[in-house]
Amino acid sequence: MKINNKSSIILLSLTFYFLINLSGYSQKEPNSNIKFQISIRNISKASENSLEFDLFLLNLDKNTPLELALFQAGIRVNPEIYNGGNITASIVTGSSELIEAQQPQIVIFSQSENTIKLPSRLMKTPHSTPGSGPRGSIISSKESGTRICRIKLDNTQAFKKTKEIFSFSFDKLPYCTSVYQYVNGMNTPMRCNADNCIVKP
C-alpha cells in the first residue's frame, strides 16, 4: 500500500498533536486548595529533665475531606533550654491518632542542628482506586485536629526555662516540614509555612 506525501504529512501531524496533548495531560498535577494547620500544643514538663508536647494536624476546610498521604516534621529547638545537657527524643507510645500504617515509629534529635526530625512512614501498598474508599487517615476538622503523636525530650540536665522553645523548619536542611494529601489517588503536596504551622503553649 502506497502512502503519498500529503497523507504522510497529515498522519505525522495527527500523531504529533496526539503525543503533545497526551503528554500535557499526564504531567498535569492536581492542586490542593484545602486549608490546614500544623500545631505544637500542650507543652509540659513531666519532670525537670523531661519535656513533652503534642503535634497536631487540623483540616480547616470542613466541607472537604483531607486524606493524609505523608507527613513529616522538622522542629527547631532553642538550644538555651539544654542547660549543658544531652538531649534524646522519643515518641510517647499510643499517642498517635492516625491509622496504624501511618503512625510515626521513630523520631530523631540532632543536637548539633538543634532539630527534631520526625520522618514520614511510607504506605506499604499503593493508594486504593478512586471511589473505593480512603487509604490514608482522614484528618479531623474539629478542635485541634488529629494528633500525629506526642513527642518526649529527655535531658541529662534540668531543662532551663525559656519563653520560645520550638519553631518549625521549612528548609530542606536541616529538615523540612511537609504534608501530602491524596487527591484522586495521587500524592499531592500542601504548602507549609509560618502562617499554617504554629506553636501553642
Strand partners, 67: 138
Rg (CA), the chain: 23
- Confidence at residue 123, expressed as pLDDT on a 0 to 100 scale: 58
User: What are 129-149's pLDDT values in tens digits?
Assistant: 554 556 899 999 999 999 999
- Confidence at residue 4, expressed as pLDDT on a 0 to 100 scale: 53
User: What are 63-110's pLDDT values in tens digits?
Assistant: 899 999 999 999 999 999 999 999 999 999 999 999 999 999 999 999
- Confidence at residue 135, expressed as pLDDT on a 0 to 100 scale: 81
Determine the distance from the C-alpha atom of residue 79 to the mean position of all C-alpha atoms in its chain, rounded to a whole number: 24
Which pLDDT band holds residue 14 (cuts at 50, 70, 90)? very low
Between 121 and 68, name the one with better pLDDT: 68
Which residue's C-alpha cell is 509560618?
Answer: 194
Domain ranges of the chain: 32-199
CATH of domain 32-199: 2.60.40
Which pLDDT band holds residue 47 (cuts at 50, 70, 90)? very high
Which pLDDT band holds residue 6 (cuts at 50, 70, 90)? very low
Lowest mean pLDDT among 57-61, 126-130, 135-139: 126-130
Centre a 10 Å sphere on the Cβ of residue 156 and count the other Cβ atoms it contains.
12
Mean pLDDT of 172-194: 91
Mean pLDDT of 143-172: 95
pTM: 0.79
- Confidence at residue 190, expressed as pLDDT on a 0 to 100 scale: 92
Mean pLDDT of 164-168: 95
- Confidence at residue 17, expressed as pLDDT on a 0 to 100 scale: 32
Mean pLDDT of 105-126: 87
Mean pLDDT of 183-199: 91
Strand partners, 72: 178
b/e 179-195 (16+ beta carbons within 10 angstroms → b): bbbbbebeebebebeee
Given a cut of 80, whether residue 20 has pLDDT beyond it is: no
